[in-house]
Amino acid sequence: MFKKILLLLLVVSILQSCASKKNIWYYQDTQNKDTYQEQVNYYSTKIQINDILYVKISALMADTAEPFNIVATTATSDNANVENIRLQGYLVSAEGTIFFPVLGPIKVAGKTIPEAQDLIKKLLNDGEYVKNPIVSIRIINNKFTILGEVNAPGTYDFNEQNLTINQAIGKGGDMTIRGIRKDVLLIREVDGVRTYAHLDLTSTDWFDSPYYYVKQNDVIIVNQNPARVSNSGYLADIGTAFGLVSLLLTVYLITLQN
């Protein structure tokens, strides 16, 4: 009788430790399909309060554009110089404006990068400051935070115009085997509104949503599965409990045989 109970407990323990591929594999709705194509939708990033902008003005007559370029434009990978460029960049104020040389305050918050470029270009043209200027704007303090069950949680800078959630998770070292892929939480603040989006990374259904691409200051949270949560307690999980009972029964049976 005791041997049957012991065998049952061992079987249950093994089953308990097995993880289903339904909870582990990414984008399972693509597994049984041949190669196929889908149209990719891009979403323009909007400038927000506290963004730092790099603005470069170019023109055929370079000397006319020079007064409007206050940020050093020398390309470098040195971190100190990158920080220096950020310090000299245009900080978007609480009113949503930047203070541009000669032109004064310009409302840029809520505009996309192309819209802000067109606005500055128009102001320079209409004021006859620069003839046919080329305006280039970049957000230089883009960052996101990833927390929870990933191998390298933290806050990461990025310069890409379109960074996907997949790439963001990759920067965090990928999810651990204990992360819940069916419910990844994305927290986003845009225009003073905070949004909470729950993403199922075992499906591609959300690829066409605005949450496929990371935006500045996004927070991605990968929660722990129930077994991982249980491991933080005194009694690790059901598998551990069965293991403990099995050990006690084994010791008891050995004692009976002796």
Q: In 18-175, which ranges are E strands?
A: 52-58, 90-91, 97-100, 104-107, 134-139, 143-148, 154-157, 163-164
Domain of residue 173, residue span: 142-224
**Residue of 253 and 6 predicted with greater confidence:** 253
Q: Which residues lie closer than 8 Å to 198 by C-beta, 6 or more apart?
A: 183, 184, 185, 186
Do residues 104 and 93 lie in contact, with contact meaning Cβ atoms separated by under 8 Å?
no
In this structure, the answer to whether residues 121 and 101 fall within a common structural domain is: yes
Listed range (3-12, 49-58, 159-168) with the worst mean pLDDT = 3-12
Where among 139, 166, 186 does a domain terminate? Answer: 139
Instruction: Tell me which residue of 164, 192, 144 sits closest to 48, measured CA to CA.
Output: 192
Can you tell me the distance from the alpha carbon of 148 to that of 220, in angstroms, rounded to the nearest whole number?
9
* Residue 72 within a domain: yes
Give the amino acid at 103: L
14 assigned to some structural domain: yes
Indicate whether 76 belongs to any domain. Answer: yes
Last residue of one domain, picked from the residues 139, 158, 173: 139
SS3 (DSSP) at 25: coil
pLDDT band at 8 (very low <50, low <70, confident <90, very high): low
- The yes-or-no verdict on residue 206 having pLDDT over 70 is yes
The count of structural domains within the chain is 3
pLDDT digits (tens, 9 = 90+) for 178-192: 999 999 999 999 888
Name the residue with higher pLDDT: 37 or 137: 137
Domain for residue 29, yes or no? no
For 99-130, write each residue's pLDDT tens digit.
Answer: 999 999 999 999 999 999 999 999 999 999 99
Assigned domain for 202 exists:
yes
Distance CA 214, CA 187 (A): 10
Dihedral angle computed from the Cα positions of residues 6, 12, 17 and 20, in that order, rounded to the nearest 10 degrees = 160
pTM of structure: 0.73
pLDDT > 90 fraction of the chain, expressed in percent and rounded: 55
Tell me how far apart the alpha carbons of residues 181 and 184 are, in angstroms, rounded to a whole number. Answer: 6
Checking if the pLDDT of 21 tops 80, the result is no
In a domain, 205, yes or no: yes
The whole-chain average pLDDT of the chain stands at: 82
Question: Are 187 and 128 found together in one domain?
Answer: no
